[in-house]
């Protein structure tokens, strides 16, 4: 275990863990997260664009596609659709730039980080509808499905897996693969690790997930496969790369998905990091374990996706013009 990991876990126990023991305060959590986030600089040779809201037909409740593009100058030949975590009720593309910037530069892939609608204002299926709309928009703009990878962490990891399942069920072309970091895949909260790792996890107490799940669920049952993809049929899904920490309360949400996916014939890589915190890749570039996780993720992206030789001209025409400072 690196010194950086020890320091980060110590800080999480002091500052983040106590917040999870309090009643859920959506506004406070959002404000604290935006205040504390560290923003990495835009990598040299890349540009950060704001994708303004592009709402589909159907009015205020229709899917919304907005977010951030990190694009290599001239355009990369692969694309990652990233879905941030935050319990479906907080965080944003901005808070997860440490991951998306690290993935982009290592995998040589442009990244679209989706700013999907959040609960409780927008419960299920709003986030899933937005993710599906974002993926289909990439296809409509000319990206071959084989050149795409879906990625996400925590709630966003569960959302990424649910998006894969929904795309398969709808008959859409599937991406080359998916990266799932500490995914929250069971909103029924039945994993044994929720109890067994309560007190060991430096970031979350065990009962917090049941308390926040209701905000996203609304009237939907917790075992619905598009809400909790642990309960989905995994046959026909593309390769998956999963990681989680050994002391996470959500550890079983990763282990059970890996087991069920392998049983369904899906190619699975699953890494369990000893004593590492929830979504530790977000601590790059400070933590060596985070850098290694992003290196392994980039290798996976290149392995499962195909280069799109038409990407540069197509992306230059489709990108928004507003850059982010």
**Secondary structure of 35-66 as H, E, C letters:** HHCCCCCCCCCEEEEEEEEEECCCHHHCCEEE
Nearest to 257 by CA among 234, 223, 227: 234
Q: What 3-state DSSP class applies to 153?
A: strand
Pairing label, strands 177-181, 148-153 = parallel
- What six digits make up the tokens of 24? 């859920």
Provide the β-strand partners of residue 241. Answer: 179, 269
- The span from the CA of 190 to the CA of 2, in Å, is 32
- Using DSSP, state whether 135 is helix, strand or coil: helix
CA-closest candidate to residue 69, choices 117, 107, 102, 101: 101
Tell me which H or E stretch contains 294.
Answer: helix 288-304
Closest residue by Cα to residue 79 from 320, 238, 267, 310: 310
State the SS3 of 130-145.
HHHHHHHHHHHCCCCH
Q: Say which of 92, 147, 228, 248 is annotated catalytic.
A: 248
Edge to edge, the sheet with strand 240-245 lists 46-55, 64-72, 110-114, 79-83, 148-153, 177-181, 240-245, 268-273
Catalytic residue (choose from 92, 154, 193, 305) = 154
Nearest to 278 by CA among 257, 253, 241, 248: 248
List, in sequence order, every residue forming a beta bridge with 218; answer none if it has no partner. none
- R_g of the chain computed on alpha carbons: 18
d(CA 293, CA 156): 17
Structure tokens at 51: 């994708």
Is 278 noted as a catalytic residue in this protein?
Answer: yes
Q: In terms of DSSP bridges, do strands 148-153 and 110-114 run parallel, antiparallel, or are they unpaired?
A: unpaired
List active site positions: 154, 248, 278
């Amino acid at each position: 275990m690196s010194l950086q990991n020890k320091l980060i876990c110590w800080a999480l126990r002091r500052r983040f863990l106590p917040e999870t023991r309090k009643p859920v305060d959506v506004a406070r959590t959002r404000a604290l997260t935006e205040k504390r986030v560290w923003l990495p600089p835009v990598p040299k040779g890349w540009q950060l664009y704001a994708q303004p809201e592009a709402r589909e037909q159907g009015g205020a409740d229709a899917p919304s596609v907005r977010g951030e593009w990190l694009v290599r100058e001239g355009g990369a030949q692969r694309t990652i659709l990233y879905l941030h975590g935050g319990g479906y009720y907080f965080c944003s593309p901005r808070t997860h730039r440490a991951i998306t910037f690290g993935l982009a530069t290592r995998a040589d892939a442009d990244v679209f980080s989706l700013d999907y609608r959040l609960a409780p204002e927008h419960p299920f299926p709003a986030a899933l509808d937005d993710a599906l709309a974002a993926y289909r928009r990439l296809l409509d703009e000319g990206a071959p499905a084989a050149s795409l990878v879906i990625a996400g962490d925590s709630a966003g990891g569960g959302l990424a897996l649910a998006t894969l399942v929904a795309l398969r069920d709808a008959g859409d072309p599937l991406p080359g693969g998916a990266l799932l970091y500490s995914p929250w895949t069971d909103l029924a909260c039945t994993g044994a690790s929720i109890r067994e790792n309560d007190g060991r996890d430096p970031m979350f107490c065990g009962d917090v997930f049941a308390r926040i799940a209701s905000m996203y669920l609304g009237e939907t049952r917790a075992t619905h496969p598009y809400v909790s993809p642990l309960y989905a049929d995994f046959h026909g899904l593309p390769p998956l790369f999963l990681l989680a920490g050994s002391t996470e309360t959500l550890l079983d949400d990763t282990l059970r998905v890996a087991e069920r996916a392998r049983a369904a014939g899906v190619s699975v890589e699953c890494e369990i990091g000893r004593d590492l915190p929830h979504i530790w890749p977000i601590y790059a570039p400070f933590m060596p374990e985070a850098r290694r996780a992003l290196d392994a993720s980039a290798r996976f992206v290149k392995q499962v996706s195909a280069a799109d030789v038409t990407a540069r001209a197509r992306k230059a025409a489709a990108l928004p013009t507003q850059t982010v400072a």
